[in-house]
Structure 1
Amino acid sequence: MPRILMERSGEMEVFARVVEKSSFSAAARSLDLTPSAVSKLIGRLEGRLGTRLLARTTRALTLTEEGVAYHRAAERILGELNAADQAVATGSARGRIRVNASVPFGTTFVAPSIGRFVADHPNLTVDLSFTDEVVNLLEEKADVAIRVGTLPDSTLKARKLAQSRRVVCAAPDYLKRHGTPQLPADLSKHNCLTFNFRRSRIGWPFRHKRREFEQPVSGNLQVNNGETMRQIVLSGVGIARLGRWHVADAIRSGALVPLLEEFNPDDLELIHAVYLGGGTVPSRVRTFVDYMIETLGRSDVFEPAR
């Protein structure tokens, strides 16, 4: 029977803390150990594994290729151990949860609702980061990210939070100056604003008499994110196609006008929560995801699940 290595989780925790702090001394202070003790533990771990995990210089610590792989596994295992401890000890979510979302979705839906979440879960600390970049959960040490649109293939777990129709829209000022399109073909005469990242469609989709088709569109401006597009459309530059969740308030106030709705194909923009897979989902992640599903389900800007 192989020898049981009782020190494994401790070595993993020390190694993960050294990577997090990028310093033996800083890791030692956070763990209430001496730098020499931390150095010995890392040396013992590398000796047991038979490979170098950290490349050390006088100025910096960097992970080797083997170190990257071991760190990824260590983070997952330590997360599962913490989740198991929490589940057995109290059955409630506790600790810190790091949440990432795009700026428009985060400011519109996550931030306004987070007060009730932290009030309902006093043992949780929420660390929010809003960015329009698609972050790497491991590199950014995020527990869960909320992503809008098509998900690329990955090893991450995903859970659908909500879904929203897309809508073609423009500001009243633009329509006053250029007229209102009555048919999808009329868009060829208009300044249609598009995104500059790669998309599978060559135009905007529409439906007429149960037949779906693509209407080619063009314009003098392209952008890389939905919030910039929303601001530009509000200023009267042209016509855009955005998720209804993103422009619902502007449509309600009359700042934007929905167009060609009788030709809308009702295609959906999906909103998912993604998080690391490979084992039991920590209770803090599961609790937050359940809360967001409940919160978004009460909003009238999202479509019922199909």
Structure 2
Amino acid sequence: MSRQDINRSGEMDVFVRAVELGGFTAAATACRMTPSAVSKLIARLEARLGTRLINRSTRRLQLTPEGCAFYERSVSILADIAEAERYASAGEQAAGPIRINTSASFGNHVLAPLLPAFMALHPAVTLDISYTDKIVDLMEERADVAIRAGPLKNSSLIARKLGAARKFIVASPDYILRNGQPVSIEDLRQHCRIGFSYSRAIGGWPLLDQDDTVLVPVTPGIQVGDGEGMRHLALCGAGLARLAAFTVRADIAAGRLVSVLEDLNPGDLEEFSAVYIGHGGPLPARVRTLLDFLAANVRL
């Protein structure tokens, strides 16, 4: 077979799917091939490259160092190809369902107010929105777009940055009246702190200690699984909570919550992105249109 006859992007796509799905059988299902065909394709790829990419066992696949490097580059190349195809199909009409995964806080306070305008612009689109603060597998959940906070770890996903939000430590006026207002890091030990019940990228509250930012460990008196639940607990006077500005801005303005320890706030920002799977063909116009709309209209 000549070099011109080799479908390199097709080989890369099958290889990437085998790595990310954990086996030839799963990759074969996703690519509408047989497991034997996938195995032979990977073997031909390794023979052409002159190196082993995957160490095979009966239970799992393990990438070699060369396989890791080839995987990372393949993901990037497939993303570039998909981006080129999206530009080429820019005239396609936005229509059909979009599955969105986001946190309840972002969904209620940022996304929901924007949706009437989006739906008015694109009446042929329908939306299916699920709320969770946990990181989900977009392929497994069949989600088109997920809104996520913090750095992107999965290299098979592409992110469109939507902005960054400050965070505030807040409490209800009733809680402050009953427990006093904290004025120092040491005071936090005397207060009930509401924390998340799942692990976070930052495992504490960043606060200023003189000229340095320190990460204050938070042993929560109450744990909750999502930011909106944390906000409601704070509103009910259950304790102190550290939340994104867009979650509590209206509550602070209305006097339902007050910001505390603001002179110790380092002003750190939490980035929010719309993420989607970066390979597997052109991005549908319905999804591309939503991403463009969010990038242009989200204000944090």
- TM-score higher than 0.5: yes
> Cα distance, 1:150 vs. partner?
4.1
> Cα distance, 1:206 vs. partner?
1.1
The aligned counterpart of 2:145 is 144
Does the CA contact (< 8 Å) of 1:167 and 1:258 recur in 2?
yes
The aligned counterpart of 1:120 is 121
- In 2, Cα distance between equivalents of 1:129 and 1:268: 25
> Cα distance, 1:258 vs. partner?
0.2
- In 2, Cα distance between equivalents of 1:202 and 1:117: 36
Higher relative contact order (CA 8 A, sep 6+): 2
Q: 1:85 to 1:277 in 2, by over 3 A?
A: closer
The aligned counterpart of 1:291 is 293
Give the unaligned 5+ runs of structure 2.
6-28, 40-59, 61-77
> Cα distance, 1:209 vs. partner?
4.2
- In 2, Cα distance between equivalents of 1:254 and 1:210: 31
1:233-272 aligned within 5 A? 233-272=234-273
Q: 1:140 to 1:235 in 2, by over 3 A?
A: same
The residue type paired with residue 267 of structure 1 is D
> What is the total number of aligned residue pairs between the two structures?
237
Does the CA contact (< 8 Å) of 2:104 and 2:226 recur in 1?
no
TM-score (norm 1): 0.66
> Cα distance, 1:243 vs. partner?
1.2
- In 2, Cα distance between equivalents of 1:46 and 1:220: 52
Report Cα offsets for 1:3-53 as digits up to 9, x if no partner: x9xxxxxxxxxxxxxxxxxxxxxxxxxxxxxxxxxxxxx9xx65796479x
State which structure, 1 or 2, has the greater radius of gyration over its C-alpha atoms: 1
Alignment pair present for 1:129 and 2:130: yes
Greater CA deviation, 105-114 or 177-186? Answer: 105-114
The one of 86, 89, 99 equivalent to 1:87 is 89
Greater CA deviation, 238-247 or 219-228? Answer: 219-228
The aligned counterpart of 2:111 is 110
Q: 1:202 to 1:144 in 2, by over 3 A?
A: closer
Does the CA contact (< 8 Å) of 1:185 and 1:215 recur in 2?
no
Q: 1:246 to 1:154 in 2, by over 3 A?
A: same
**SS in structure 1 at match of 2:298:** helix
The aligned counterpart of 2:284 is 282
Greater CA deviation, 222-231 or 173-182? Answer: 222-231
Q: 1:203 to 1:126 in 2, by over 3 A?
A: closer
Give the unaligned 5+ runs of structure 1.
5-41, 53-64, 66-75
The aligned counterpart of 1:162 is 163
- % of aligned pairs identical? 39
